[in-house]
Amino acid sequence: MVRCYTRAQIRECSLTRAIAALAFFVACCLSPLYAAAQTEGSAVPPPVSSGGPVPVANDARVAGDEERTRFILDLSADVEIGAFTLGDPYRVVIDLPEVAFELPTDAGLTGRGLVTGWRYGLFARGRSRIVLDTTMPVKIDKAFVLAAVEAQPARLVVDLVRTTPAEFQAELQKTAMTREASNTVDAGKGDLLGMAPSQRRAKPLVMLDPGHGGLDAGATAQSGVLEKDIVLKFAFELKQRLEATGKVDVVMTREDDRFIPLRERVRMARDQAVDLFVSVHADSTREDFVRGTTVYTLSEKASDTAAAALAAKENAADSIAGLESKEDTDEVSDILMDLTRRETRTFSSAFANNLVTELSNTTRMIKNPHRSAGFWVLKAPDVPSVLVEIGYLSNAEDEKLLTSDDWRTKVSEAVGNAVMRFFGPKFAAANP
């Protein structure tokens, strides 16, 4: 009785807060501020794609020095843009409607002048984002798009100049409210893929979370293979395998190459009241001899230094995508929530143990395969959650496995078996 009462109470509280927040942000979206056209250097976000042909970005370059630097992106059509700066670390964020990036494979790996490098990708439905890493505090002098003329393509141009830390902080404070509203409304909004919420389901609901996505590529192998692609393919395979049992329903946080903020992934799991959350990753490390699969659960104190380092790396995903990192400010900390957290971690550990057992019979595991740390994506207080590092892209042998159809089939089957074992008592109760 305590378990059911606790989860129901907490979810009701969460739903009330979510509805209130949604109403506020919908009102913001309807405000003339958010419908206004983008002006030079403004932090107001551009409109999302209208649903017509998607513009193509086929070339980009950086020019200038440490006093003034220009970023240029060639486009097949004009777009409206928004640009703003972020600190800790210093970055420049450029928002634009959805764009098909057909750039050279080494685009963004190096920079020039004030820009050390940059990344790009789909940020939310109908929106793309470019994030420039800078060497120091900068100011956006100009941000505009030149219309296409005859043989010359349309060109997105952002001019940066160096500034003082004091001037940089003043600019951050001036645009903070607009940036917060923009990121909260648009980043992953309405992207939950699958069935509608239901507190009375005939089957358990499992949420699969392919890590990274969009402009956050995650780890990259020496061959150029990207973590975001590897884990998405694995999640699809696992989804099909679980659905084939007919005993569970499955939803995914993303089904394409888009960025979903960490807190949005947690919100998705809580709003759907899922019964199990599995986040899939394929990391890299400086020690290329490290290989094998690892299963992580949430803990306030990391089980080891490697787990702590990995959690810090994964928790930086929002920063990579141009979102400001903030501490958890959830105000609910009463006895009901404490009981729920404790119970949830017990279930998470139980599933993790099942997972380690199944995977150990199928693939190579890292030493001490069940570890724990403060992963943001595992912080739903009422949803049993684990993060699975299926291998290391920095290891040549693991990379071969991660890109192997046979290995993917065997390992997804092992994960599926662990899910079935976890829900075994529920299946038995439903069929006495």
Q: Is residue 35 a part of any domain in this protein?
A: no
Rounded Cα distance between 327 and 338, Å, is 19
pLDDT at 336: 62
Query: Are residues 198 and 245 both part of a single domain?
Result: yes
Query: Are residues 176 and 195 both part of a single domain?
Result: no
In this structure, are residues 387 and 375 in contact, taking their beta carbons and an 8 Å threshold? yes
pLDDT at 174: 72
Domains held by the chain: number: 2
Which of 78, 48, 216, 46 has the alpha carbon at shortest distance from 157? 78
Q: Is residue 257 a part of any domain in this protein?
A: yes
Mean pLDDT by 10 residues, the chain (432 residues): 38 43 39 33 48 86 94 94 90 92 90 94 86 94 90 92 90 66 44 41 91 92 94 97 96 94 93 95 92 94 88 81 60 61 90 95 95 92 95 96 97 96 76 58
Query: Are residues 161 and 226 both part of a single domain?
Result: no
Which of 402, 296, 308 has the alpha carbon at shortest distance from 349? 296
pLDDT at 430: 60
Query: Are residues 168 and 216 both part of a single domain?
Result: no
Q: Is residue 3 a part of any domain in this protein?
A: no
Query: Are residues 232 and 293 both part of a single domain?
Result: yes
Query: Are residues 232 and 305 both part of a single domain?
Result: yes
Query: Are residues 93 and 117 both part of a single domain?
Result: yes
Q: Is residue 103 a part of any domain in this protein?
A: yes
Query: Are residues 241 and 307 both part of a single domain?
Result: yes
171 DSSP β-pair partners? none
pLDDT at 431: 62
E strand or H helix at 417 = helix 405-422
Query: Are residues 175 and 270 both part of a single domain?
Result: no
Cis-peptide, bond into residue 369, ω within 30° of zero: no
Measured torsion, CA atoms of residues 233, 236, 240, 242, in degrees rounded to the nearest 10: 110
Q: Is residue 51 a part of any domain in this protein?
A: no
Query: Are residues 177 and 204 both part of a single domain?
Result: no
Beginning with the edge strand found earlier in the chain, give each strand of the sheet holding 293-298 in spatial order: 249-252, 205-210, 276-283, 385-392, 293-298, 365-373
pLDDT at 326: 57
Q: Is residue 47 a part of any domain in this protein?
A: no
Domain end residue (candidates: 154, 186, 218): 186
Domain end residue (candidates: 186, 212, 240): 186
- Between the alpha carbon of residue 102 and those of residues 106, 120, 227, 259, 383, the distances in Å are 11, 11, 19, 18, 39
Q: Is residue 14 a part of any domain in this protein?
A: no
Q: Is residue 41 a part of any domain in this protein?
A: no
Measured at the alpha carbon of residue 315, what is the angle toward residues 311 and 114, in degrees to the nearest 5?
Answer: 120
Domain that holds residue 88: 56-186
Query: Are residues 105 and 133 both part of a single domain?
Result: yes
CATH of the domain at 65: 2.60.40.3500
Query: Are residues 267 and 386 both part of a single domain?
Result: yes
Domain end residue (candidates: 136, 162, 186): 186
CATH of the domain at 316: 3.40.630.40
DSSP classification of residue 307: H
Contacts of 261 (CB under 8 A, 6+ apart): 183, 187, 188, 317, 318, 321, 323
pLDDT at 15: 43
E strand or H helix at 4 = helix 2-30
